[in-house]
Amino acid sequence: MSEELKNNTPDNPEEPQYSLNDDRRVKVLSPGALVAKRFFRNRMAVVGLITLIAMFIFSFVGGMISPYTQDQLFYRTDLQNKEFAAIKVNDEYRYATAPNQEFSSVVQAQAFLAMQKGNSEFEYRGTNYTLKKEGENFYSVQLDGTTIGIAFMDIVSGADGEIKVDFDEHFAILKAYTNQEKKFEFNGSNYEIDAEGAIKKDGKEYALVGRYVINTILSDVKLTNAFREKLIEAIDTNKSEFDYSDENGDFTYTLKYDAANKMYSILQKKETKVFDTYAAPSKEHWLGTDRNGMDMLTRLMYGGRVSLMIGFIVEAIATVLGVIFGGLAGYFGKWVDMLIMRIVDVFYCIPSMPIIIIIGAAMDAMRVNPQVRMIYLMLILGFLGWPGVARMVRGQILSLREQEYMTAAEATGLKVSRRIFKHLVPNVIPQLIVSVTMGLGGTIITEATLSFLGLGVRFPFASWGNIINDVNDTYVLTNYWFIWIPAGICLLVTVLAFNLVGDGLRDAFDPRMKR
């Protein structure tokens, strides 16, 4: 080998010079070193190993370095249009009854009929009522010269939405408003009405009159006169948006007209704190955030941790069971072998994926705690995975136990368990390592598939499979590549690396195989 030659060239002055037939000239490598050497000569395997190390650092160290935790929620402020108020143009008559008078709803209906017909009198139950037109769409109903009630379309409301005007004042305001009077006097006070219907009493803002009925969505919100003026102005000029600022801040309001019930709804654009879901990659979140507003990169790290850990634990369970049963079957042969191998055959025939799906669905229905669920998942996967290992171990041991060193071991009177687990099993370890490495990739895929289907690892835990689960939502598939592509690539790269390393190890352990 060229490297050995190089080591012995005289240009390395520190190396002592031996004579040609000195044994020390021959560099002796232990079997392990030989395997390592063969392994590192395989370029693909080395690439796989480096990738694996990178993936481990990413998953186990990355989670510690990341400034966030796996279930930390992020918020952002968002401008949202919230229903603020509704405004309706009143096109129905409303009625008010004078103090100490009777103006029943039947009489109101009769008055309405008379108004429609244009009559100035009507009769009900032998009583004659007089209908007097006081202004546009404003009538008073009189009985024997006294006003018992009024019918009107324009609504008078207090400037802050609270105060109630009494009947006479109401009458006066309506009378003035419907006759387009700008000023009037009542009860010794001066009233002014402007074009928008704002009423000033003695120079102070007092009330509002107009065709519009405004209701706020939240009962504790009081609408000011100025706001109403702005709003009515916007409706009259057919604007769909207006700005208004008060002590709460500047807001933009949007008007939406609903033709079905002739109502405008007023939407207030307000900054609201919301979960920062599906945020695009940025400086704070290198891979954006997911459906719940959690940092994607951090979840990817923790997901890797879960995926790798599940892979290792499952393989460990399968290997331990497989080595024990395979070792027993291989060593004892005869009926033990027969029995164990038939059990293996039975396990081979059990369709594992459907069984895990059924158990997963049952656990779903029973609302099993996600942590307990993860443990069950590992146990089931491990338990379904041992027959393959057992079959391999048995095959190896069957050939190994016929070798001379085993006869020697038997001759020295070693215990059976010692012979199996100290002398036979260590010789199976190369094949075992290869099968475990290859199996790890498969287990990770199985776990990811189950988690993808929502039957494996569940929220709040992350796993690469359940991160990609979001893809089930076609909108995510189409628009948010950063949610699922990184997780998929992590999975692919990790499994590929496991397979490459497994391949490399097999070649290194058994050079005759040449892959």
Partner 1 sequence: MRKYIVKRLIISLIILFFVAFIIYVLMRSLPTSYIENVARQKSMQPNSKSFEEWMEQLSATYGMNQGLFLGFINWLGRFFTGQFGDSWYYTVPVIDKFNDTVWLSFVMGLIAFTLELLIAIPLGIIAATKQYSKTDYTISVLALAGISLPTFFFASLLKLVFSVHLGWFDLFGLVGRSYELLSPMGKFLDKAHHLVLPIVTLVVISVGSLMRYTRTNMLEVLNADYIRTARAKGLSEKKVIYHHAFRNTLIPLVTMIGGSLPGLFSGALITETLYMIPGIGYTSYNAMVNGDIPFSMFYLVFMAILTLLGNLISDILYAVVDPRVRIA
Give the nearest distance from C-beta 103 to partner 1 in angstroms. 54
Residue 509 found at the interface with partner 1 (CB under 8 A)? no
Nearest CA among 178, 130, 172 for reference residue 153: 178
Of 243-251, 292-300, 343-351, 418-426: span binding partner 1 (CB under 8 A): 343-351
**Nearest approach, Cβ of residue 358 and partner 1 (Å):** 5
CA dist., res. 24 & res. 7, Å (int): 13
Other residues' Cβ atoms within 10 Å of the Cβ of residue 504: 25
Residues 441-470 close enough to bind partner 1 by CB under 8 A: 441, 445, 448-449, 452-453, 455, 465, 468
CB of 495 to partner 1, least distance (A): 4
DSSP one-letter code for 239: -
Q: Is 26 a residue that touches partner 1 (CB under 8 A)?
A: no
Q: Specify the amino acid at residue 208.
A: L
Among 50, 355, 372, 408, binds partner 1 (CB under 8 A): 355
Binding status of residue 372 toward partner 1 by CB under 8 A: no
Nearest Cα to 397, choosing from 325, 329, 330? Answer: 330
Site for partner 1 in 409-448 (CB under 8 A): 441, 445, 448
Phi-psi region of 12 (alpha: psi -120 to 50; beta: other; left: phi over 0): beta
User: DSSP letter at 471?
Assistant: G
DSSP string, 359-382: HHHHHHHHT--HHHHHHHHHHHHH
Q: How many CA atoms lie within 13 A of 488 on its CB side?
A: 11
Q: Does 75 bind partner 1 (CB under 8 A)?
A: no
Answer for which of 104, 460, 477, 511 binds partner 1 (CB under 8 A) is 477
- The b/e string for 141-174 (b: 16+ C-beta within 10 A; e otherwise) is bbbeeebbbbbbbbbbbbbebeeebebebbbbbb
As measured in angstroms, the least distance from the Cβ of 351 to partner 1 is 4
Which residues lie below 8 Å from residue 380, measured CB to CB, with a gap of 6+? 355, 356, 359
Instruction: Check binding of 342 to partner 1 (CB under 8 A).
Output: yes
Residues that contact partner 1, how many (by CB under 8 A) = 45
Q: Residue 151: what residue type? A: A
Site for partner 1, residues 378 to 397, rule: CB under 8 A: none
Least distance in Å: CB of 163 to partner 1? 55
The residues facing 199 across adjacent strands are 193, 207
| Minimum distance from residue 438 beta carbon to partner 1 (Å) | 9
Q: Judged by CB under 8 A, which of 99, 145, 354, 413 binds partner 1?
A: 354
209 touches partner 1 by CB under 8 A? no
Contact flag: residue 367 with partner 1 (CB under 8 A)? no
Q: Are 428 and 393 in contact (CB under 8 A)?
A: yes
With CB under 8 A as the contact rule, the residue among 113, 280, 353, 375 that binds partner 1 is: 353
- Name the site residues for partner 1 (rule: CB under 8 A): 44, 342, 345-346, 348-351, 353-355, 357-359, 361-362, 365-366, 441, 445, 448-449, 452-453, 455, 465, 468, 471, 474, 477-478, 481, 484-485, 488, 491-492, 495-496, 498-500, 503, 514-515
